[in-house]
Structure 1
Amino acid sequence: MMKWLNYHHLLYFWTIAREGSVSAASRKLRLAQPTLSGQLKALEDALEVQLFHRRGGKLVLTDTGAHVMRYADEIFSLGSELQDSLEGLPTRRHPRLVVGAADEVPKLIVQRLLQPALELASELRLVCYEDRQDRLLADLAVHTIDAVIAEAPVESGSPIRAYSHLLGECGVTFFAAPATARRLRRRFPQSLEGEPLLVPIESTFMRRAIERWLEERSIRARIRGEFQDYALLGAFGRAGVGVFAAPSVIEDEIREQYGVQRVGELEDVRQRFYVITVDRRIKHPAVLAITERARDELFAR
């Protein structure tokens, strides 16, 4: 028996996610909160998934909820265009680029990589999601997104048929608050002995590279904090909590944004970045622009 999706229920879910709470969505839709909660539960029962969980009294999308949200965005965007076309408004769709950025890629890198796409066409609509690489690849496989920005290629033997296009590579640099950086720079890297470090969470390239680099030099630094988000990691670095590493290609932006200074570079450590698509040869003009600019300018050094 074919399953039918209730689009009213999907609209209610979409509005709750956009507004951030059932109460805000109820005001937007002019529906009672119990009614809206019941309709959301009906959608979860029909799909046999949990779309939200509560965190600190707030509704937060589950991984599945984020996946459904990406489809809902596209569905209701098309619905809006249909209404415009029936009202006699211009029907030409603006070009879109939907990109997934893997969690571990610094957002400063993502912004630098995506900028050429916006410069390619003034009417381009950029949609950018952030998630784990494996979940983004699943979305890529069903064409919910056009490309994935990642620090690792698709693993050999992956059930998802996708192609990894190398954008470039760069070194890795340690940064710290100005006074700390000046002190550590004199005897770097031995000066890192016993120093507090701020590092990405485990299983990321940067975390593995830092630990291996320190181990090879018999340097025993002290991990003070582990972070999933690079922006939060940098904020603690700015506050002087510890030393942290970032791709050398965004050194100027790191120094300007966080008010930190360079300590030293991790010798022989190179970090790579990829754009992953379902095409062996890149066809999307915006993805092609991203690739060419990255290779010719961003990582040319």
Structure 2
Amino acid sequence: MLNYKHLYYMREVATAGSLTRASERLHLTPQTLSGQISLLEESLGTELFKRQGRNLELTEAGQVALQYANEIFQLGEALEQILQQLPKGRAQLFRVGVSDLVPKSIAYRLLQPAMLMNKKIRIVCTEGKLSDLLAELGVHRMELVIADSPMPSYMNVKGFSHKLGSSGISFFASPELKASLVGEFPACLDGAALLMLSEGAAIRSKLLGWFHSQQVKPMIVGEFDDSALMQAFGFAGTGVFIAPTALEETLEQEGRVEVIGRSCEIYENFYAISIERKITHSAIKAITEHAQGWLH
């Protein structure tokens, strides 16, 4: 790991132009300072300075290192200023990413325990593509990502997937559309207008496999990256749509839709992805513990 004290010394020497001048600023002997620079060059595997008479000049690698060093220490100064300006007792920032394939009502119920904690928490919630959210998690711009699948193995991000639970799948339709369906469930789905999540959704392949096993072939009339948008089309009577069984009561109340059937063979899973292998963050802990109480 990079030694930032050595990097700071390197930056001071580069600014001063010589070991002697830099050592006077830092109150170190030139020999000590030279040793620290050598240790940095050894850890990086490249020379950072070259002698030019009595002075030191940066090598090409040294110029790159100096540019990054300046940015690093400027960020450090900005962080110090921001923290000093924060009022005491201010709510703790809890940054969460929610995959756009996770139903909004599910996301709310999962995150609600963090907002009800005795400790002051201010949630900053961002919705987006899972890959984009995981990239933010990887650089510590988020503490948690809620998703419908574990972290993909191809993502070069240090993170750990914690299963929150799962829910069976229910099929919904507007009263008018439901009345037009012929036969019992699931036979009534054959030829019916269907709204589907896009190919990025973990549930999609399971659902198509289930249709095949039930020998029904719905007519897909719409595909969506966003579950809320799909539900909005479903509320308008455009087609049958699916949602977790755990949301039946909520959707029937909010969207004037009715359940036409359920499948116990298909489950939608939900995951909390964090940088912690063992969860210690109080808000994430509250979320995972509460989820196990209402999800299977």
* TM-score normalised over the length of structure 2: 0.70
SS of structure 2 residue aligned to 1:206: helix
C-alpha separation between the residues in 1 aligned to 2:284 and 2:202? 24
Match of 1:242, SS state, is: coil
Among candidates 254, 257, 260, match of residue 254 of structure 2? 257
Structure 2 counterpart of 1:173, which letter?
S
Deviation at 1:122, TM superposition (A): 6.0
Structure-2 separation of matches of 1:184 and 1:267: 21
- Letter paired with 2:266: V
Q: Which residue in the other structure is 2:31 paired with?
A: none
Matches within 5 A, 1:174-189: 174-184=171-181, 186-189=183-186
Which entry has the higher C-alpha Rg, 1 or 2? Answer: 2
Contact 2:136 2:142 in 1 (8 A): yes
Letter matched to residue 299 of structure 1? L
Any unmatched runs of 5+ in structure 1?
6-70
Residue 172 (structure 1) aligned with residue 132 (structure 2): no
What does residue 14 of structure 1 align with? none
User: What whole-Å deviation, never above 9, does each CA across 1:3-48 have from its counterpart, x for those lacking one?
Assistant: 567xxxxxxxxxxxxxxxxxxxxxxxxxxxxxxxxxxxxxxxxxxx
Kept in 2: contact 1:185–1:263 (CA 8 A): no
5 Å matches for 1:104-115? 104-115=101-112
CA contact (8 A) 2:90 2:120 kept: no
Provide the residue aligned with 2:295 in structure 1: 299
Give the AA of the match of 1:217: Q
- Mapped partners of 2:282, 2:207: distance in 1: 36
Report Cα offsets for 1:94-141 as digits up to 9, x if no partner. 212111111111111100100000001362100111111122111111
What is the alpha-carbon distance in structure 2 between the residues aligned to residue 78 and residue 110 of structure 1?
A: 34
- CA distance in structure 2 between the aligned counterparts of 1:168 and 1:150, rounded to whole angstroms: 11
Letter in 2 for 1:212: G
Q: Which moved more, 1:212-221 or 1:247-256?
A: 212-221
Q: How does 1:1-301 map to 2 (within 5 A)?
A: 1=64, 2=67, 82-83=84-85, 90-121=87-118, 123-156=120-153, 158-184=155-181, 186-296=183-293, 298-300=294-296
| Separation in structure 2 between the aligned mates of residue 185 and residue 287 of structure 1, nearest angstrom | 46
* Counterpart code for 1:168: G
Work out the CA distance in 1 between the residues paired with 2:154 and 2:239.
Answer: 39
Change (3 A) 1:185 1:257: farther
Residue 147 of structure 1 deviates from its aligned partner by 0.7
Q: Residue type matched to 1:113 in 2?
A: L
- Identity within the alignment, %: 36
Distance of 2:81 and 2:262 partners within structure 1: 51
Q: Is the 8 A contact 1:182 1:263 kept in 2?
A: no
> Quick one: structure 1 residues 82 and 166, their matched pair in 2 at CA, closer, same or farther if it must change by over 3 Å?
same
Aligned with 2:116: secondary structure? helix
Are residues 178 and 285 of structure 1, via their aligned partners in 2, closer, same or farther at CA, if it must alter by over 3 Å?
Answer: same
**Structure 2 residues not aligned, in runs of 5+:** 1-63
Q: Is the 8 A contact 2:200 2:225 kept in 1?
A: no
What is the distance in 1 between the residues matched to 2:191 and 2:231? Answer: 20
3-state SS of 1:226 partner = strand
Deviation digits for residues 63-116 of structure 1 (CA, Å, limit 9, x no counterpart):
xxxxxxxx9xxx999966644x5xxxx434421211111111111110010000
User: Relative to structure 1, is the Cα distance of residues 96 and 262 closer, same or farther in structure 2, using a 3 angstrom cutoff?
Assistant: same
**Residues 1:157 and 1:196: Cα distance change in structure 2 (over 3 Å):** closer
Q: Which amino acid aligns with 1:102?
A: S
Structure 2 letter corresponding to 1:162? G
Q: CA deviation at 1:236?
A: 1.2
Deviation at 1:183, TM superposition (A): 4.8
User: Higher mean Cα deviation, 207-216 or 277-286?
Assistant: 207-216
